[in-house]
Amino acid sequence: MERLERIREGGWWICGISRFIEKKKPCVVYSFGVGNDSSFEAEILGRTKCEIWGYDQHVPGFNFGEEITEEMRARAHFERNGANSATDDANRLVTIQDMMKRNGHDYIDILKTDIEYSEYNALSSLNGYTLPGGAGALPSPDPLKPEFPIGQILVEMHIFEWQGITASVYLDWWESMEFRGLRALHEKLIQ
């Protein structure tokens, strides 16, 4: 496990970056909530052959921050949209599964999300979509537990009861992620 970039806001812990450095085929990275700091994305692009699809509906203009150099731009794709539980083009909100369809992806190697209260809804929507009986369920050796279409999720969770996310609701959600094979490897409380 290795921390990429900034010590406070902007830096993220990632597992197995050496696998992505050695990979011949470019890995797929989705980054939600780019904001004004693209240091994480720049480090991924600088150290691997990955391609990054970045999304942020609140960033003025239509691009990443200054950390993305000219030579990186061919592998850095940006849309001024946010992720949520339902696609609403008028408000620049799109589900993760709709973004994957638009980009022709059936798997994301790394998903980074810091989208201020929408991460729960966006990930829950993708989880339901890919469960057995869901429109996007992938073939799996275990039909009761289809593969989750994301290798690792880097997420900053914002949990507030005013949003309807109580401790009990959050625990159920977390267990649904564990059911899909995901495990927590790092956590940090931000106050």
Q: What are the tens digits of pLDDT across the range 46-88?
A: 999 999 999 988 887 667 878 888 899 999 999 898 888 889 9
1-27 pLDDT tens trace:
777 766 656 577 787 777 877 777 789
pLDDT of residue 138: 61
What is the sign of the dihedral through the CA atoms of 14, 135, 138 and 99? Answer: negative
Residue 140, both tokens: 């799996």
pLDDT of residue 29: 95
With a cut of 60, say whether residue 190 has pLDDT above it.
no
pTM, rounded to two decimals: 0.85
**DSSP 8-state symbol, 171:** H
Per-residue pLDDT reduced to its tens digit, 133-182 = 666 666 665 666 667 788 988 887 767 677 777 778 778 878 888 887 87
DSSP one-letter string for 24-72: SSPPEEEEE--TT--HHHHHHHHHSS-EEEEE-TTSSSSS--TTS-GGG
Helix (H) or strand (E) holding 19: helix 17-22
pLDDT exceeds cutoff 90 at 123? no
Tell me the two tokens of residue 122: 């966006």
CB distance 80 to 70 below 8 Å: no
Token code pair at residue 158: 């914002």
Task: Tell me the C-alpha distance between 72 and 45, whole Å.
Answer: 6
